[in-house]
Structure 1
Amino acid sequence: MAHLLGVEGLRLVVGSRILLDGVTLGIEDGTRVGVLGPNGAGKSTLLSALSGQREPDGGRVTRTGGVRLAMLGQGDDLVAGTTVRSAVHGEVPEHEWASDAAVRDIHAGLLADLDLRADVATLSGGQRRRVALASVLTAPADVVILDEPTNHLDVEGVDWLARHLHERFAGRRAGALVTVTHDRWFLDAICTHVWEVVPGADPGGGRAQVPGGIETYDGGYAAYVLARAERARQAAAAAAKRENLLRKELAWLRRGAPARTSKPRFRIEAAEALIADVPPPRDTVELMAMATARLGKRVIDLEDVAVRYPDGAGPQQRTVLERVTWRLAPGERVGIVGVNGAGKTTLLRLLAGTQEPSSGRVVRGKTVAVATLSQSTHELDELADLRVVEAVSMVGERVVVGGKELTAAQLVERLGFTRQRAWTRVGEISGGERRRLQLLRLLMTEPNVLLLDEPTNDLDTDTLAAVEDILDSFPGTLVVVSHDRYLLERVTDHQMALLGDGALRALPGGVEQYLELRRQGLGGQAPTPSRRSGQGSGARGASRPASPARPDGARMREATKGLARIERRLDRAAAAVEALHARLEEVSADPARLGELAELGRELATAQAEHARIEEQWLAAAEEVESLGLGA
C-alpha cells in the first residue's frame, strides 16, 4: 500500500498547553481513519496540521508528491453572493460534473432539497453544512479530511454518507479518509483504523506538563472498544473506574452487533474472559418493577391527536401530526427517528405538556413527573457565576441511581467531571460539559419520565458511554429523539418513526427498517405491526389505507395459518443463529481451535441472512393479516 500522508515527531502547542509531542503516524492508500478523544484534546488541531492549514510547532508533516488534499472544517467559508452550484463546483461547466455518477450521487444525498441557483446566504446552518460537505466530496482529492461530517445530518443522511465513503475508499488506489466524529455507528461503518488522542496531564506543583499522544487501533469502533477494554484490563487498578463502563459497552456490543466487530490484534480468549460473566446493560425486569411502582399503570396517552401549524399568511394550515394514538407504558424505552420537520420536537412538546394538540387529547397519569433535555443549553446562562457542583446541588443534594444513593458531587464525577472541572465556573466550561451539566440537573429532580431531544450534541465518545451508563439505571419511561443511531440502539428497547405524513409508526425492524422505508419512499404506508413487542404501547397514524371489503372467513384463516408457519420458521432461524453464536464463543475460548473461526463466521453470515429473509416474509404476512382484519 502506497504511503500518502504522515507525521514525524509532531508537536502541537496551543497557548501554554502542549497538546501533542513526538507523534509519528502514517496514512496509506485505502486507509480510513476515525479520530477519537475527549473534547479539547486536540483532534481538530491535528486535522489542521495534517491538511497543512496549520504549521506544526515541532516535527514535520510528510506528503507524497502529487497527493491532493481536501478538508471539511467545523465551520464553513461560504461567501454571501455565491450560488450553491458555484460553492460546490466552482467554475467547472455543468456538463462535466453532471456526467459523473459519483457527483450525481452526492447531489442526491446532500443537495436534493436545495435550489442550485440559491444564494448560500439564504440557507440555514444545516443546509450550509451540507453544501460545504458536498464541495469537499466533489473536489478531486487523494486524501479527504472531515471534521464532524455528520453534524446536521439526520439518520438517513448519515447512512448515505457512510455508504458513499465506503464505496469511494474501499478499493486499491482509492485514496484515504481521516475523520473526527462522535457518531459511533458511523465510525464502525466506515473506519479501518481508530486513532485515539489521549490528552496530556498537568501535574501541578511547578512540574512540567506531560504532553498528550495518540494510540492506534485496528478496526472500527467495536474493535476499538474491545482493544481498549483489553488494554484497560492489563493496566490494572488505576483504570478500574473506566473499565466498568467499557465492560458494559463491550457486553452490549457482543450481544447487539457481533457481525460488525472486525478482528482485533489481541488474544480473543482474553477478551472473552473479560466479559464472560458481565450481566446485561440493564436489568429490565427490575427497572420495569420500579417504574410501575413509581408511575402507576398510566403514563402519557395520546388519543387521536393532530397538530397543525399556519402555512404562510393565508388560512392554509400545515399538518404535522394527524390522528396519532400512542400509549406510553411504565418503564418503556423508545427511540424516535424521522425526517427533519416531521414533528419529532412537536411530539416531545405534547408529551411534556408544553404544547396542546389542535385536536384529540393528551392524558397524563397522576404521578407523572416529566423532565425534558432540550437541544439548547441557554438555560445555564443565568448560572454562569456558579461552580458546576453548586449548579447541580442547588437542584438537589442527593439522587438514587441504579439503587444507590449518590450525592451531587458523586454524580458529577460519574459523568466525567474531574475534581478540578467540578469546581470550574459554569460560564467557563465547554459545550460538551454544559450538555452534561444540563443532564445532571435534570436527573437531580428525580423525574419518572425523561424526554431527550438530541442528547448527543457536543459530547465525546467517553462522555456518551458515561451518559448511557446513567440512562441504563433510569427506572422511568424514556423517550429519545436522536440522529445518533448507536445511541438509539444502545439505550432504547424499540424505535418508532415519523416519516413526514403525519403518522407515527412502530419499527419492529429498528432503524434499518426506517432507512429501508425511506429508500423505498413509503412515507404513506400503514404502520407495521410489532411482533412480540412486550411494551404494551401502540401508535396509529392517519395514513391507514381505506378498509377493503369484508373478506370471507377462508381467506382470513389461510392468511393466519401462513403467518403462523412463517413465525415457526423464524423461531427456528433465530435458534440457529443463537447456536452459532454459542459455538463461536466456545471456539474463541480455545486457542487450539482458532482455525475454525473463519468457517463458523461464514456459517453465521449465511444463517443471519436467512433469518433476515424470513423476517421480511413475516412482516409482509403480518401486514396482510392486519389489512384483512381491518376489513372484518
Structure 2
Amino acid sequence: MAGQNLVNLENVSAHVPGDASRVLLDGVSLGVERGERVGVVGLNGGGKTTLLEVLAGRRAPDGGRVSRLGGLKLAYLTQGDDFPAGARVRDVVLADYAADHEWAADPKARDVLGGLGLRDLERTVDGLSGGEKRRVALARALLGEPDLVVLDEPTNHLDVEGVSWLAEHLLSRRCGVVVVTHDRWFLDAVCTRTWEVANGRVESYLGGYQDWVFARAERARQADAAEMRRRNLARKELAWLRRGPPARTSKPRYRIEAAEALIADVPPPRNTVELLNFATNRLGRTVLELEDATVRIGDRTLLDRQTWRLGPGDRIGIVGVNGSGKTTLLRSLTGERPLDGGKRIEGKTVQLAQLTQDLGDLPKDMRVLEAVEAVAKYVRFGKEEMTASQVAERLGFPPARQWTPVGRLSGGERRRLQLTRLLMAEPNVLLLDEPTNDLDVDTLTNLEDLLDGWPGTLVVVSHDRYLTERVCDTVVALFGDGKITHLPGGIEEYLRRRAAAGTPTEAPQAASAPAPKAASTVSAAEQRAARKEAARLERKMEQLTKREEQLHAKLAEAATDPQKLMELSAELKSVETEREAVELEWLEAAERAEA
C-alpha cells in the first residue's frame, strides 16, 4: 500500500574503507516508501554508491541502524556487471522461468527484453560488450516483482531510445525505486523525490531535477549567500528549464510563479547572434563539409552519397541507436576515418579538437594544474577570459585538488581533466563523443555554462537527452538508411519517427505465446476525480505558501520579542509540515490523473 515504509536509515554513518578520516555519510536518517521514486545526485566520490549499498544491505554501516520491511524483495543493479563464466543471456535474465512459454506469456518479461534489445538469448555473456552486459544486468534487476528496485547508473550505455523506454517502464511499476544517475532528463521524467548527497549529509527535496534546481536557487536567494557564481549558475539553469520544452508532469502554479519571479532578470543562456559573429570571425565561411560522401562499415552503408555542411557557430547534436555509426561519422568529419566515396573539405582556419572515449593521452607524471597549464594558462570564452585554475575549478577541481598527481585521479576525474585540457586549447571546432560519461550533475551544469559562451562550431554525440537539448540548436539522426536526417522537432521527433516506423526494439519470440493487451490501471472516471483532487490540493498549497510568507514577515517584525518568536516559529514549522504533506498528496493525485 502507498505510504508503507520499505527501508529506514537512522543516524547512519559510513567512511571510505581503510580511511576513517574520509566520511561519506554522517548521521544520515531517511526512508523509502512503497511507490516512491527517488533520484540520488551529488559529486563523484561524494557517497552516492555507498548510500545505495547501505540501503540494499550490501554494506553494513559504520554507525547507526538500518531497518527493512519484513519479507522485503529487493533488486539491486550495481555499477559492475558480474556474471558466471560461460553463462548464457537466458541463464542470467530468465533463471526464474522454467520454460520459454512462461516468460513469453508474461507481458512484463516481454517488455523488459524488448525494451533493452535482448534478442539473442543463447549468446554467452563472456562475448558481450560492456554496453550489452549492462543491459543484461539491468534486465535481471527489472524482472520479477521486487518491492524496491535500487539502480546505480542504469542509463549508462543506453541510447536515447533506451533511456526513454526505461523511464516509461519505471513509471508503470508500483514498487519503490532509488536510482543514482547523472541523466537529468531521466531524473525529471521518473523521480518524485531527489536526495542530494554532499559533505556526509543527505538533503531531501520533493520532485525531480527541475524541482531540485529551483530549491537550490531559492535556498541561495533566501540566505543571500556570498557564493554568487554558483547562485547565478543555478538561476541561469532554472531559466533555461522554464524556457525549454514543458516538463513531463505539471507543476503547482505557486511553484511556477515563484520560479518565474526568481529568473525574471536572467538573460537567455547564450547570445546566439554575438556568438555567431565571434565564430564567423574565427572560422570564415567554410568549416567542415562532407560532399557526396559514402561511408561503409563492413557490408553496411552508413552514408550513401550524402552532402553535409557545418557552418560557423553551428551547434549540432547527433542521435541514433547504439551501433548506428555516430562515432564513425565523427571520425569521418575529423578525417581520421577516410571516406569510401566523395570528399571532405576543411576550412583553412579550422582548429579542430575532439573529445574521445580514450583517456590514454593524459600526462600521469604531472599534477592536475600543471597538466592544464601545459596546454595554456589562459583561455577566452566569448568575452570572458579565464585562467587555467578557474577553468579547472569550474569542471570539478577545487584549488586543493588541483595539486593531485594525475596518476591518482579517479576515472571521472580523468575524464574531467581531459575535457579541461581540450577547452584550454581554444579550438574553434569541437567534437564531443559521449561527453557526459563519468561526469556528475554539477560538473555537467558547469560544462554547459562554459559551452554557452564558447564561440565556435560544436558537434555532440550523447545519449544524455538533457545535454543535447541544452547546448545544441540542431539535431540530426542516423536511422540506418544511409542518410543524415535533420530533425526540426529535435529528440521528440526522433522518438516519434522510430515508434512510427515500428523500429523500437522487439522482444525475442518464443513458442506461440499470445501477447496480452495492456490494460489501463486507472479508469477515465478515476482520472477526472484525480484531476479535481489535484486542483483542490494545489489551491491548498497556495494558501499554505502565502501563510508561510506572512509568518516569515511576522518573524522579522518580532525580532526583539523572544516569546513571540517562539510562538511564530512553532506555527511556521506546523504550516511547513502541513504543506509538505499536501504536496505529497498532490504528487500522487497528479500521477493518477496522468496514468
What TM-score bracket applies, with the shorter chain setting the length? Answer: 0.7 to 0.9
Pairing partner for 1:398 from 374, 378, 385? 378
Residue 483 of structure 1: how far off its partner (Å): 0.5
Pairing partner for 2:493 from 510, 513, 518? 513
Query: What's the counterpart of residue 454 of structure 2?
Result: 474
Residue 407 of structure 1: how far off its partner (Å): 1.7
Query: What's the counterpart of residue 169 of structure 2?
Result: 164
1-structure distance, mates of 2:79, 2:226:
35
Q: Secondary structure in 2 aligned to 1:70? A: strand
- Indicate yes or no: 2:26 matched with 1:21: yes
Identity %: 61
2-structure distance, mates of 1:97, 1:350:
43
Pairing partner for 2:108 from 87, 102, 109? 102
Query: What's the counterpart of residue 432 of structure 2?
Result: 452
Counterpart of 1:485 in structure 2: which amino acid?
R
Counterpart of 1:320 in structure 2: which amino acid?
L
Counterpart of 2:394 in structure 1: which amino acid?
R
| 8 Å Cα contact 2:12/2:62 also seen in 1 | yes
| 8 Å Cα contact 2:118/2:136 also seen in 1 | no
Pairing partner for 2:95 from 90, 113, 129? 90
| 8 Å Cα contact 1:220/1:261 also seen in 2 | no
- Deviation per residue, 1:481-520 (Å, 9 max, x gap): 0000000000001100011222110001110111112122
How many residues end up aligned between the 2 structures? 507
Query: What's the counterpart of residue 255 of structure 1?
Result: 243
Query: What's the counterpart of residue 190 of structure 1?
Result: 190
2-structure distance, mates of 1:3, 1:407:
50
Q: Secondary structure in 2 aligned to 1:319? A: strand
2-structure distance, mates of 1:474, 1:496:
21
1-structure distance, mates of 2:187, 2:314:
28
Query: What's the counterpart of residue 181 of structure 1?
Result: 181
Counterpart of 1:13 in structure 2: which amino acid?
H
Query: What's the counterpart of residue 239 of structure 1?
Result: 227
Distance verdict in 2 for CA 1:249–1:516, change over 3 Å: same
Counterpart of 1:108 in structure 2: which amino acid?
G
Residue 258 of structure 1: how far off its partner (Å): 3.8
| 8 Å Cα contact 1:392/1:440 also seen in 2 | yes
Pairing partner for 1:215 from 200, 203, 215? 203
More deviation in 187-196 or 134-143? 134-143
Q: Secondary structure in 1 aligned to 2:59? A: coil
More deviation in 87-96 or 36-45? 87-96
2-structure distance, mates of 1:91, 1:218:
36
Query: What's the counterpart of residue 562 of structure 1?
Result: none
Query: What's the counterpart of residue 526 of structure 1?
Result: none
Residue 91 of structure 1: how far off its partner (Å): 4.8
Q: Secondary structure in 2 aligned to 1:378? A: coil
Counterpart of 2:93 in structure 1: which amino acid?
V
Residue 362 of structure 1: how far off its partner (Å): 0.9
2-structure distance, mates of 1:510, 1:245:
25
2-structure distance, mates of 1:111, 1:417:
38
| 8 Å Cα contact 2:394/2:443 also seen in 1 | no
Pairing partner for 2:140 from 114, 135, 138? 135
| 8 Å Cα contact 2:375/2:424 also seen in 1 | yes
Q: Structure 2 matches for 1:343-358, cutoff 5 A? A: 343-358=325-340
Pairing partner for 1:305 from 273, 293, 298? 293
Q: Secondary structure in 1 aligned to 2:439? A: coil
Q: Structure 2 matches for 1:304-383, cutoff 5 A? A: 304-309=292-297, 311=298, 317-380=299-362, 383=363
| 8 Å Cα contact 1:223/1:264 also seen in 2 | no
Distance verdict in 2 for CA 1:269–1:159, change over 3 Å: closer
Pairing partner for 2:472 from 488, 492, 497? 492
Residue 415 of structure 1: how far off its partner (Å): 2.1
Q: Secondary structure in 2 aligned to 1:259? A: coil
Q: Secondary structure in 1 aligned to 2:226? A: helix
More deviation in 295-304 or 280-289? 295-304
Query: What's the counterpart of residue 571 of structure 1?
Result: none
TM-score by length of 1: 0.77
Query: What's the counterpart of residue 282 of structure 1?
Result: 270
1-structure distance, mates of 2:300, 2:410:
38
- Indicate yes or no: 2:53 matched with 1:48: yes
1-structure distance, mates of 2:71, 2:388:
56
Residue 123 of structure 1: how far off its partner (Å): 1.2
- Deviation per residue, 1:325-347 (Å, 9 max, x gap): 11111101010001122221111
Counterpart of 1:364 in structure 2: which amino acid?
E
Pairing partner for 1:440 from 420, 426, 433? 420
2-structure distance, mates of 1:322, 1:341:
17
2-structure distance, mates of 1:278, 1:425:
39
2-structure distance, mates of 1:522, 1:325:
27
1-structure distance, mates of 2:165, 2:341:
36
2-structure distance, mates of 1:368, 1:49:
51
1-structure distance, mates of 2:76, 2:381:
43
Query: What's the counterpart of residue 151 of structure 2?
Result: 146
1-structure distance, mates of 2:325, 2:180:
30
Residue 261 of structure 1: how far off its partner (Å): 6.5
Distance verdict in 2 for CA 1:265–1:37, change over 3 Å: farther
Q: Secondary structure in 2 aligned to 1:152? A: coil
Moved over 4 A (4+): 264-270
1-structure distance, mates of 2:448, 2:31:
34
Pairing partner for 1:431 from 392, 411, 414? 411
Query: What's the counterpart of residue 567 of structure 2?
Result: none
- Indicate yes or no: 2:69 matched with 1:64: yes
1-structure distance, mates of 2:193, 2:467:
21
Query: What's the counterpart of residue 217 of structure 2?
Result: 229
2-structure distance, mates of 1:378, 1:196:
32
Distance verdict in 2 for CA 1:140–1:591, change over 3 Å: closer
Query: What's the counterpart of residue 11 of structure 2?
Result: 9
- Indicate yes or no: 2:485 matched with 1:483: no
Q: Secondary structure in 2 aligned to 1:354? A: coil
Residue 429 of structure 1: how far off its partner (Å): 1.5
Structure 2: 5+ residue stretches without partners: 504-541, 550-589, 591-595
Counterpart of 1:216 in structure 2: which amino acid?
S
Residue 122 of structure 1: how far off its partner (Å): 1.6
Residue 414 of structure 1: how far off its partner (Å): 2.4
Counterpart of 1:463 in structure 2: which amino acid?
T
Q: Tell me how large the CA RMSD over aligned residues is.
A: 2.3
2-structure distance, mates of 1:268, 1:294:
40
Residue 269 of structure 1: how far off its partner (Å): 4.9
2-structure distance, mates of 1:191, 1:267:
17
TM-score by length of 2: 0.82
2-structure distance, mates of 1:241, 1:471:
16
Residue 464 of structure 1: how far off its partner (Å): 0.1
Counterpart of 2:225 in structure 1: which amino acid?
A
Q: Secondary structure in 1 aligned to 2:247? A: helix
- Deviation per residue, 1:5-58 (Å, 9 max, x gap): 111111112122211121111111110000000000111111111111111111
2-structure distance, mates of 1:299, 1:591:
55
Counterpart of 1:432 in structure 2: which amino acid?
G
Q: Secondary structure in 2 aligned to 1:237? A: coil
1-structure distance, mates of 2:428, 2:392:
20
Counterpart of 2:459 in structure 1: which amino acid?
V
